[in-house]
Structure formats: C-alpha cells, structure tokens
Amino acid sequence: MVDPSFWDEPSLAQRTIRAANTLREEVASWSGFTRRIQDAAELAQLEDEGLHAELEKEVESIEKELEKRSFIAMLSGRYDRENALLAIHAGAGGTDSQDWAEMLQRMYLRWAEKSGYETEILDMTEGEEAGIKSVTIAIDGKYAFGYLRSEKGVHRLVRLSPFDAAHRRHTSFALVEVLPQIAMDDPEVEIDTSDLKVDVFKSSGAGGQNVQKNATAIRITHIPTGIVVTCQNERSQLQNKENAMRVLRARLLEIKQAKKDEEVATLRGEYTKAEWGSQIRSYVLHPYQMVKDHRTDYEWGNTQAVLNGELDDFMEAYLKQI
C-alpha cells in the first residue's frame, strides 16, 4: 500500500484496502481473545478464594467464545464472509405452497434479526389468494452467506390446510436459493452493458394506495445467458436498477462457479424441482410436531421455535458435516 504505483488501478487498490482492513479486524479480535485467556490464567495463579466465582464465570464465557470461534473458523470458503441473497420460490402445492413460501420468508427474516443482520426485500410477487409466489431478500452482515448456504434446497411442510374446506392434511414445497453478494468491482464477474436489455414497468401491488402510479420497477435481461432479474420494491427506479444488478451479478457468479466441478456444492448445487422426494428438510405440524433435516438427521420437536427463526442448530449441524 506504500508503493507509489498502488493507486494506478483504483479498483484493485480499494479491494486491497478492504482485504487489509478485514485482516486487521481478525487479528485484533484474536489478540483481544488471547488477552482474556491470559488475564484469567493470571487471576487463577493468585489462588484467591474470593475470585473463585468470578473465574468460573469467566472460564465458562471463554469456553463458549472458543466454541463459536472454532465453528466460524470452518467458514473458510471464498465467499463465506460475504453478504447473501436469499430467494424463496413456491413449489408444488398451489395456494398452500405460496402460504408456505411466506412462512419461510418470515422465518428467515426472524433469524436474520436475531443474528444481527440487516435485511431488505428486493423483489416480491404475491400469490393470488394468499402468500407469495417468490421473494428475493438481501441479507447483510459478516458470514451471512457462510451460514445461509446450509439452507439452499427444497423445504417441505406437512400440515392441516387452512385453505381446504375439509381441513385435510396437505404437503407443500418451496425452493430456497442462496447466493453470495459480490462487490461491483469484483473481477470474477464482468458485465458488458451492451449485453443487457432493461425494461421499465409499473410495480404490481395489493391495490389502493400501494399501487405505484409511476413506472419504477426494473426488469433486466442478460442476453447471453437469458437470465431475467426483476426488482420493484423501491419507489426509486435508480434504486431498483441497482438492486437488480446486485442480483444479476450474483446469478452470473453462480453460473461461472458452477462450471468448476469442485465448487458446485459450495455455491448452489444442482437445481432440483420443488416437489416430493427432493426436500432437504421437513417441517411436520400434523399429525405430530417435528422439524427434521434429511441431510444430517438433526431434528427438533419445537416447530414453533424453528418457524420463529431458531435455525442455528440446524445450520451448524449441516456445516460441521460437510
């Protein structure tokens, strides 16, 4: 960074500065943790009975911190530290599946809030009767992608349907996609503006005061790949375009990485239809209460807690296994 030619390539210089700042934070964090351990050891050497209770409490806290740091050390993938884009798509099951997609949206928003992450809904298509057909959410915070990559796949719900007059048991499916958000200057993805077709249209909504009178929604088509991205949640056309480009960059990165066989599993994995037999996790609300991850066999009977965002145990069980 002290080299006179450092700023000859501004984008490279900025990436280098970001990387250096990240490393400084990491070193400072571990240095602080090491000092805590040393301080506790020095207090223990005093053999003062009056400090016994305080030391026990500090040792317990250090052990919990060490366990957390040991787990985070496993999140060493190239994009594990990055922000994430999470997309939910209703699958087989009609109105029930659209309602299920909305339940999953609430679950992940609750999880993000509990985890201290910031969220922003970039695009959402509502169902005709209830729920949502699809939603794309930006989740910002350190290791957001590292944690959430455990959630990609088909999620199955079994319950007594509130949309069935006979109140029969229904099975619904929804597909969850998780992609890393990458910086606009990331050299991994270069977008030629001549390859883009940009359409502007009026946002769809629930009607009444919610309907946009101006055309602010954006649809971007990447002609070489056929990828179509829409964003309509902001009132600003410029903001919607920026958000759409964020999603497009993430999807182009996904395609590029998927071509490298050894990295397919760490980004998205093979595409599977959101239907019976391909689920990664089942949420059973009837005839018994159970959430089970089929990849790890980890299960928990407190379905309400899981649907309220208590997902860390499921995530960690999966990430420790891979």
Q: Please give the structure tokens belonging to residue 156.
A: 């199955």
Q: Is the distance from CB of 105 to CB of 88 less than 8 angstroms? A: yes
d(CA 254, CA 202): 29
The CATH code for residues 84-184+261-321 is 3.30.70.1660
Among 68, 298, 315, 80, CA closest to 179: 80
Residue 245: per-residue pLDDT: 93
For residues 166 and 40, give the distance between their C-alpha atoms in angstroms, rounded to a whole number. Answer: 64
Per-residue model confidence (pLDDT) at position 128:
86
Distance CA 184, CA 187 (A): 9
Right CATH for 193-252 from 3.30.1340.10, 3.30.160.20, 1.10.10.60, 3.40.50.720:
3.30.160.20
- Tell me what the pLDDT averaged over the chain comes to: 88
Beta strands in the chain (DSSP E): 84-90, 118-126, 132-140, 153-160, 169-180, 196-201, 217-222, 227-231, 279-284, 290-293, 299-300
Q: Residue 184: is its pLDDT beyond 80?
A: no
Tens of pLDDT, residue by residue over 189-210, are 889 999 999 999 887 654 444 4
- 139 in Cβ contact with 84 (< 8 Å): yes
CA-nearest of 144, 88, 145, 91 to 116 is 144
Whole-number Å distance between alpha carbons of 305 and 287: 18
Domain ranges of the chain: 6-72, 84-184+261-321, 193-252
- Residue 255 makes CB contacts below 8 A (sequence gap 6+) with 225, 227
The rounded distance, in Å, linking the Cα atoms of 217 and 208 is: 18
Structure pTM? 0.80
pLDDT band at 84 (very low <50, low <70, confident <90, very high): very high
